[in-house]
Amino acid sequence: MKVRFWLLDISQEPAGETSEIRLWGVDRKGRRILILDRGFNPSLYVAPKIEAEEAVKSLNSNPTLRQAFSTVEVEEKKLFGKPLKVLRVEAKGQEAFETLAKKLPREGWVGEVFHDDLRASSQYLLSLDVKPCGWNEVEAEEVKPPGGVRVEACYLAKERPRAVEALETPKLRVLAFTPIYSSEIGSPSPLRDPVLAIAAVTSQGERKVFAASEKGDDKGLLEEFSRYVEAYDPDVVVGYGSNRQDYPYLTQRAEKLGVRFRMDRMGQHPHQSLYGHFSVVGRANIDLLDFAEDMPEVKLKTLANVASFLGVKFEEPIEVDAVEAGRLWKTEEGREKLQALCLRRAEVIMGVAEAILDFAYQLSHLIGMPVDQVGAAAVGFRVDWYLIREAWRLGELAPKRVEQPYYPYKGGMVLEPKAGIHEKVAVFDFTSMYPSLMVKYNLSPDTYLPEGEPEPEEGVYVAPEVGHRFRKKPPGFYKMVLEELMRARRQIRQRMKGLKPSQALYRILDARQRSVKVITNAVYGYSGWRGARWFKAEVAEAVAAWGRKTISEALAIAEKLGLKVIYGDTDSVFLAYEPEKVERFEAEVEKRVGLEIKPDAIYERILFTEAKKRYAGLLPDGRVEIVGLEVARGDWCEAAKQVQEKVIEIVLREGDPGKAVEYVRQWIRDFKAGRFSMEDVTIWKTITKPIEDYEVRAPHVEAAKRLMAKGWKLTYGDKVGYVIVKGAGKLYQRAEPSLTASPADVDLDYYVENQVVPAALRILQIFGITKNHLMEGLPAKKEGLLKFFS
DNA sequence: GCGACAACTCTACCA
DNA sequence: ACTGGTAGAGTTGTCGCG
């Protein structure tokens, strides 16, 4: 019978001489099913140094190798566009595959081995074009599920499944969960501290809290939660910080207590897998924090901040640290409070999931990577996967990741801004400049013509400045891929036009076009990434060089038309707005440069300092946009950011720097009178490497060390919040973790002198205002300030 | 031994 | 653990002085 299923998860079981691929999914009736495919084995591709037929003979005559493979075939493949005769060697199961991967490269006749770095389940997804988070079809017969497996139906594949294009997502059961831990001091430790509660919220609206005993005995809680998960049988399990925190903690805790922590469809505990994510067999485990990492607008990635950003409504508080939780658990009232908080937290996680899951499914579908991995995989690996699949369709082998030397090259062009305030400034952007250039000039590793090679008949494009040459024909890999991506995005957006944002299909299409955009925009960076399989420094370098040429041409056109250029960065041009000239500029650029340029915004008023990449502008709709300045940064205290934002607004909206000066002076008076909170003065900075690797004693590193000395676990990637306290010595000696600092110790002078005043002055210096104008005790000179607004 | 300054480290931004 | 270009704060090293 034909079974159509939406693929949720894929796993592989070693099964002797054949590996068994397990496809976990949901069928059209909404049943949770498992499809066993025993007819697939992973293969390796061998490029021989000798004649293919001779190579086959050598392979067959080696008894160790002969045992490990079932078949060998000579195939015509391509590598970087060049035809390549290879031997496809099909392994007898996973173990044999690993043996071959190890032994084959040592054979004298073997040139290069391919796909030995792709595990069986990956090869399966690749070679069969089976798509995760999408519909697939297979001829199969119903069988009894393997022992321990819990599904509504199980099938044995009779043939290889195939992807079926269909947009809708089945109704999936989603479970959001979040634990609360206890600790006497510092971070909780699974060997020492109990889990006090786990809240679970389902997409059907069920809400539950599992709690430890009054004394904090959590053995029953873990067992109960496991049973609940099995009974509800979710397809998707979402958490926040679950890969980093909850799964490691809960599995270790369960092990210590002698309980089996069961989340999957096989009665096993979660295990760590690729990209540091935890795999829950048969379900998709998604850590929403992974997706929050791609939201640059949210500086401090707390659940509350992410939820607010996404417009998820909730009541505070939804965060509690383990020490506070441990303290609260001691009273009846505290326990109730904590459980209510825990439940609210799980509800917010569900809310965030609703905002993110469509995108996660679409990204997974597009790049062909299981949805539980896609969030945890870095951008480079997402692109890698997408390209491996596209390569396969074109008969290309996936090149190996090879160690590459660092090769710095020149990037985009940034103009010196015209400092000061400008009225009516039009901003133009080249649309998808880098991808478009890659398409236009056929920039790809396979079209690159190394120095010394004779020019082909079809001709070459020569990159400006750097001189790299690229064959005009045939279309290169990147060109084909990018053209397809850009075409797909246009098509999706076209389809969306007839729909309302409230419709489910609209949301799916929107999620899909966003995922296409993410990949499109990452290809240039990927091409210059040393870890990329299709790395080619000359490609990235040529793209950037053509980019500089392109914007230079646009600038020349502006100049010729008598348009004043205010600023420009990589693919954007800021021009003093003159309606007719600007229109001619747009037409002229498209005609002469051959790339699409579009008006992005017309600022009513915009201000630049002397610095590049920093400005603030007032839009016609009244919004103020702040770019690059302290307001836009996560490593300045709130106080400094708020003052700067207010200064910018006064200056842009009211055009009155004198008023801004008065505002800052009053703010300082209030601040010195003690009107501030710890949040206002906390500075957050990321620990970017292991503490011992730091070469200098930076304030945030010293604050981190103090926290660690007090039992807090910090690893790189974590943010440390600290305040500067009164006292003598270097700044790093006065950096106190904000958790342990008290408001009375805060060094107010530091904040005025080194945070608030510099941030305010960044803007106000444009008007000749100095530190003296802002600080108490010195007269604010008003004369001369208003001349800028005559 | 001291202070001015340059060099370097570190983070987070823009495109 | 996608690229290069950039600002800015803070630490550390160096040099001249006498």
Note the pLDDT tens digit of each residue in A414-428.
999 999 999 999 999
User: How far apart (Å, rounded) are the C-alpha atoms in residues A127 and A788?
Assistant: 66
10 Å Cβ neighbour count for A555? 18
The predicted-structure confidence for A610-661, as pLDDT tens digits, reads as follows: 999 999 999 999 999 999 999 999 999 999 999 999 999 999 999 999 999 9
User: How far apart (Å, rounded) are the C-alpha atoms in residues A677 and A332?
Assistant: 30
Does the CB of A634 fall within 7 Å of any strand B atom? Answer: yes
* pLDDT higher than 80, residue A520: yes
10 Å Cβ neighbour count for A52? 18
* pLDDT higher than 50, residue A267: yes
Cis peptide bond prior to A474, omega within 30° of 0: yes
Q: What is the DSSP letter of A319?
A: -
Sheet arrangement for strand A420-430:
A565-569, A572-576, A420-430, A597-608, A615-618, A624-627
User: How far apart (Å, rounded) are the C-alpha atoms in residues A89 and A45?
Assistant: 6
Full-model pTM:
0.93
Does the CB of A698 fall within 7 Å of any strand B atom? Answer: yes
For A290, residues 6+ apart whose C-beta sits below 8 A from its C-beta are A243, A277, A375, A376
Does the CB of A697 fall within 7 Å of any strand B atom? Answer: no
User: E strands along A633-773, which residues?
Assistant: 683-686, 719-724, 735-737
Q: At what angle do helices A504-527 and A537-560 cross, to 10 degrees?
A: 100
DSSP string, A421-459: EEEEEEEEEETTHHHHHHHHTT--TTTEE-TTPPPPTT-
- Per-residue confidence at A781, pLDDT binned at 50, 70, 90? very low
Does the CB of A630 fall within 7 Å of any strand B atom? Answer: no
User: How far apart (Å, rounded) are the C-alpha atoms in residues A174 and A238?
Assistant: 7
Q: List the nucleotides on chain C closer than 7 A to a protein CB.
A: 1-12
Q: At what angle do helices A379-393 and A504-527 cross, to 10 degrees?
A: 90
User: How far apart (Å, rounded) are the C-alpha atoms in residues A398 and A497?
Assistant: 37
> Do A210 and A201 contact (CB within 8 A), yes or no?
no
* pLDDT higher than 60, residue A787: no
pLDDT mean over A732-748: 94
pLDDT of residue A217: 94
pLDDT of residue A776: 67
- Per-residue confidence at A148, pLDDT binned at 50, 70, 90? confident
> Do A52 and A74 contact (CB within 8 A), yes or no?
yes
10 Å Cβ neighbour count for A744? 8
Nearest nucleotide to A629 (CA to C1') is B13
A124 residue type, one letter: Y
Residue at the smallest CA–C1' distance to nucleotide C10: A698
For A586, residues 6+ apart whose C-beta sits below 8 A from its C-beta are A428, A597, A598, A599
The predicted-structure confidence for A220-237, as pLDDT tens digits, reads as follows: 999 999 999 999 999 999
pLDDT of residue A245: 96
Å separating the CA of residue A44 from the C1' of nucleotide B11:
44
User: How far apart (Å, rounded) are the C-alpha atoms in residues A642 and A682?
Assistant: 13
User: How far apart (Å, rounded) are the C-alpha atoms in residues A379 and A427?
Assistant: 29
- Per-residue confidence at A782, pLDDT binned at 50, 70, 90? very low
Nearest nucleotide to A750 (CA to C1') is C9
- Tokens 């348009």 belong to A563
pLDDT of residue A166: 82
Å separating the CA of residue A118 from the C1' of nucleotide C17:
66
User: How far apart (Å, rounded) are the C-alpha atoms in residues A301 and A600?
Assistant: 29
DSSP string, A753-772: IIIIHHHHHHHHGGGT--HH
**Would you state the structure tokens that stand for residue A386, as one six-digit string?**
């997408």
3-state secondary structure of A349: helix
Does the CB of A534 fall within 7 Å of any strand C atom? Answer: no
Largest pairwise CA distance in chain A:
95
Q: List the nucleotides on chain B closer than 7 A to a protein CB.
A: 9-15
Å separating the CA of residue A467 from the C1' of nucleotide B14:
27
- Tokens 């599992």 belong to A210
Does the CB of A417 fall within 7 Å of any strand C atom? Answer: no
Å separating the CA of residue A408 from the C1' of nucleotide C3:
10
Q: How do A420-430 and A207-211 pair as beta strands?
A: unpaired
Does the CB of A328 fall within 7 Å of any strand B atom? Answer: no
- Per-residue confidence at A783, pLDDT binned at 50, 70, 90? very low
pLDDT of residue A680: 97
> What burial class does residue A552 get, using C-beta atoms within 10 Å of its C-beta: 0-12 exposed, 13-18 middle, 19+ buried?
middle
DSSP string, A83-119: EEEEEEEEESHHHHHHHHHHHGGGSTTEEEEESTTS-
Nearest nucleotide to A430 (CA to C1') is B15
pLDDT mean over A103-123: 93
Does the CB of A754 fall within 7 Å of any strand C atom? Answer: yes
- CA-CA distances (angstroms) from residue A504 to A93, A219, A246, A426, A489? 42, 42, 32, 36, 18
Does the CB of A572 fall within 7 Å of any strand B atom? Answer: yes
Q: What H or E segment, with its residue span, contains residue A700? A: helix A699-709
User: How far apart (Å, rounded) are the C-alpha atoms in residues A286 and A589?
Assistant: 45
Does the CB of A412 fall within 7 Å of any strand B atom? Answer: yes
Three-class DSSP labels, A379-398: HHHHHHHHHHHHHHHCCECC
**Would you state the structure tokens that stand for residue A187, as one six-digit string?**
């971070």
Does the CB of A386 fall within 7 Å of any strand C atom? Answer: no
Does the CB of A613 fall within 7 Å of any strand C atom? Answer: yes
Does the CB of A228 fall within 7 Å of any strand C atom? Answer: no
User: How far apart (Å, rounded) are the C-alpha atoms in residues A161 and A125?
Assistant: 10
pLDDT of residue A777: 60
User: How far apart (Å, rounded) are the C-alpha atoms in residues A635 and A647?
Assistant: 19
Does the CB of A514 fall within 7 Å of any strand B atom? Answer: no
Q: Look over chain A and give the mean of its residue pLDDT values, rounded to a whole number.
A: 94
Nearest nucleotide to A569 (CA to C1') is B15
Q: What is the DSSP letter of A242?
A: I
User: How far apart (Å, rounded) are the C-alpha atoms in residues A322 and A212?
Assistant: 14
pLDDT of residue A44: 96
For A88, residues 6+ apart whose C-beta sits below 8 A from its C-beta are A43, A44, A45, A71, A72, A73, A74, A75
Out of A147-151, A252-256, A383-387, A456-460, least confident range: A147-151
Q: What is the DSSP letter of A652?
A: I
**Exposed e or buried b for every residue in A615-638, given b needs 16+ CB within 10 A?**
bbbbeeeeebebeebbbbeeebbb
Does the CB of A358 fall within 7 Å of any strand B atom? Answer: no
Instruction: Provide, rounded to the nearest whole percent, the portion of chain A with pLDDT above 90.
Output: 90
Q: Which of residues 250-309 of A touch strand C (CB under 7 A)?
A: 275-276
> Do A417 and A615 contact (CB within 8 A), yes or no?
yes
Does the CB of A401 fall within 7 Å of any strand C atom? Answer: no
pLDDT mean over A132-145: 95
User: How far apart (Å, rounded) are the C-alpha atoms in residues A652 and A158?
Assistant: 69
Does the CB of A66 fall within 7 Å of any strand C atom? Answer: no
- Per-residue confidence at A313, pLDDT binned at 50, 70, 90? very high
User: E strands along A32-157, which residues?
Assistant: 32-37, 43-48, 69-79, 82-91, 110-114, 135-143, 153-157
* pLDDT higher than 50, residue A721: yes
Residue at the smallest CA–C1' distance to nucleotide B12: A633
Nearest nucleotide to A631 (CA to C1') is B13
Question: Shortest CA distance to A19 belongs to which of A76, A70, A63, A75?
Answer: A70
pLDDT of residue A790: 33
Q: Rounding to the nearest 10 degrees, give the CA dihedral for residues A264, A268, A270, A271.
A: -130
- CA-CA distances (angstroms) from residue A734 to A699, A704, A728? 8, 13, 8
**Would you state the structure tokens that stand for residue A308, as one six-digit string?**
């607010």
Does the CB of A544 fall within 7 Å of any strand C atom? Answer: yes
Cis peptide bond prior to A435, omega within 30° of 0: no
By residue count, chain A amounts to 790
3-state secondary structure of A164: strand
